[in-house]
């Protein structure tokens, strides 16, 4: 419990995190002790504010592993060692695949596939996220333009953007440059941002950047809604066209009445703000049917398609376009008639 103190007529709530190590157990050398307590402090801060951590030998080996991965990731970004997977996003009214989320993939030469859950935080901590982000943006726009040229239906590509990228002064110009270079119509690019974007920047600054992006003609989606601050003022004031509702609010809605009520409330709120709702991570067909009944606009989840390489993703999407209505719409109609 933090007790605020009053300093010069202002209430200040201060918290402290501690990192500690023991001499002589961990070392007898002062700079080594400082380094180890600093490592422990880093872990304490990561675990949430106001905690204390003692140094453990595993922290040193983890640091070594992370530093090695960061070095290999740098090479992978520079040498086209990353690739993309695309996951379909399906409009539940038309039953058509309206776009794909592009997801970064990394196959390490020795360690095999490393998940984004592992390498994106490393990229963020080691300052590589901007180079990685630009690589993903370019490759995604290039791919979407290829689909257009090949005569496939107009489908957008959604690209994840980290908070650190948004803070770069040249981010908007970089997006504009990629659009010009790849000749992708801006309306076919959607940028997905999580609420972490608001954590360290002033809301006015974020608003200015998002409005500039909107000015380019790209669409903006709020990703993982419900997991961060979920401040409703963001939704009201910022130019998002879509809200992606986190998987934790979606999984199990076919079995959990309370969850269904909660999701219905979120959908109502987002619709009242004139934005589209996208349900993330729906894994079963019965969940998709409930999502249709609740009036969700779009769904992205394993039930409709897993992320896959570009060519496979297109084939998967064309098949979904052909089969979705027969599979889901007829079933929902039958249920409502009964």
Q: Which residues of the chain form contacts with ligand C2E (CB under 6 A)?
A: 87, 103-104, 115-117, 120, 133, 136, 160, 162, 192, 223-224, 280-283, 300-302, 307
Q: x/- contact string, 202-231, with Mg ion (CB under 5 A)?
A: ---------------------xx-------
Which member of 72, 164, 192, 287 binds Mg ion (CB under 5 A)? 192
Residue 140 is a binding residue for Mg ion (CB under 5 A): no
**Cα torsion at 236, 167, 192, 263 (round to 10°)?**
-40
Q: Based on CB atoms, which residue is closest to Mg ion, 55 or 171? A: 171
Q: Based on CB atoms, which residue is closest to Mg ion, 53 or 194? A: 194
Q: Based on CB atoms, which residue is closest to ligand C2E, 117 or 257? A: 117
DSSP of 133-178: HHHHHHHHHHHHHHHHHTT----EEEEEE-HHHHTSTTHHHHHHHH
Residue 124 is a binding residue for Mg ion (CB under 5 A): no
CB 50 to ligand C2E: min, Å: 26
Q: Which of 265, 82, 298 is nearest to 192 (CA)?
A: 298
CB 302 to ligand C2E: min, Å: 3
Helix 171-182 vs helix 129-149: angle between axes, to the nearest 10 degrees?
30
Which partner, Mg ion, ligand C2E, none, binds residue 229 by CB below 5 to 8 Å per kind? none
Residue 160 is a binding residue for Mg ion (CB under 5 A): yes
Between strands 82-91 and 298-300, the pairing is antiparallel
E strands of 152-241, at which residues? 156-161, 189-193, 219-225
Which partner, ligand C2E, Mg ion, none, binds residue 283 by CB below 5 to 8 Å per kind? ligand C2E
| Residue 148 in tokens | 């257009």
Which partner, Mg ion, ligand C2E, none, binds residue 116 by CB below 5 to 8 Å per kind? ligand C2E
CB 141 to ligand C2E: min, Å: 13
Q: Based on CB atoms, which residue is closest to ligand C2E, 26 or 280? A: 280
Q: Based on CB atoms, which residue is closest to ligand C2E, 36 or 219? A: 219
Q: Which of 130, 221, 141, 133 is nearest to 178 (CA)?
A: 141
Q: Which of 245, 265, 164, 179 is nearest to 218 (CA)?
A: 179
Between strands 112-114 and 5-7, the pairing is unpaired
Tell me which residues in 13-42 interact with Mg ion (CB under 5 A): none
3-state secondary structure 192-221: EECCCHHHHCCHHHHHHHHHHHHHHCCEEE
Binding site for Mg ion (CB under 5 A): 160, 192, 223-224, 280
């Amino acid at each position: 419990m933090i007790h605020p103190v009053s300093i010069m007529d202002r209430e200040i709530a201060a918290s402290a995190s501690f990192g500690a190590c023991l001499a002589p157990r961990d070392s007898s050398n002062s700079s080594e002790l400082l380094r180890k307590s600093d490592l422990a402090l880093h872990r304490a801060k990561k675990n949430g504010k106001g905690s204390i951590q003692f140094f453990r030998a595993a922290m040193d080996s983890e640091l070594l592993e992370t530093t090695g991965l960061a070095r290999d990731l740098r090479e992978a970004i520079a040498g086209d060692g990353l690739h993309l997977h695309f996951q379909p996003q399906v409009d539940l009214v038309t039953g058509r695949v309206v776009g794909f989320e592009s997801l970064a993939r990394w196959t390490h030469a020795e360690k095999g596939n490393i998940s984004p859950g592992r390498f994106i935080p490393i990229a963020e901590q080691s300052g590589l996220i901007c180079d990685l982000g630009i690589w993903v943006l370019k490759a995604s726009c290039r791919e979407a333009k290829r689909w257009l040229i090949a005569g496939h239906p107009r489908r957008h590509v959604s690209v994840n953007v980290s908070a650190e990228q948004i803070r770069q002064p040249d981010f908007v110009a970089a997006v504009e440059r990629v659009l010009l270079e790849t000749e992708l119509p801006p309306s076919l690019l959607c940028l997905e941002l999580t609420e972490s974007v608001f954590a360290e920047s002033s809301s006015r600054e974020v608003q200015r950047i998002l409005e500039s992006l909107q000015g380019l003609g790209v669409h903006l989606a709020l990703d993982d809604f419900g997991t961060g601050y979920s401040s409703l003022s963001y939704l009201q004031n910022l130019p998002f066209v879509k809200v992606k509702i986190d998987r934790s609010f979606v999984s199990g809605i076919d079995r959990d009445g309370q969850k269904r009520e909660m999701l219905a409330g979120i959908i109502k709120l987002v619709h009242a703000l004139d934005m589209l709702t996208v349900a993330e991570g729906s894994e079963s067909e019965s969940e998709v049917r409930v999502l249709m009944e609740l009036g969700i606009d779009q769904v992205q989840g394993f039930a409709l398609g897993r992320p896959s390489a570009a060519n496979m993703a297109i084939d998967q999407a064309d098949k979904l376009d052909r089969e979705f209505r027969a599979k889901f719409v007829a079933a929902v109609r039958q249920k409502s008639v009964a």
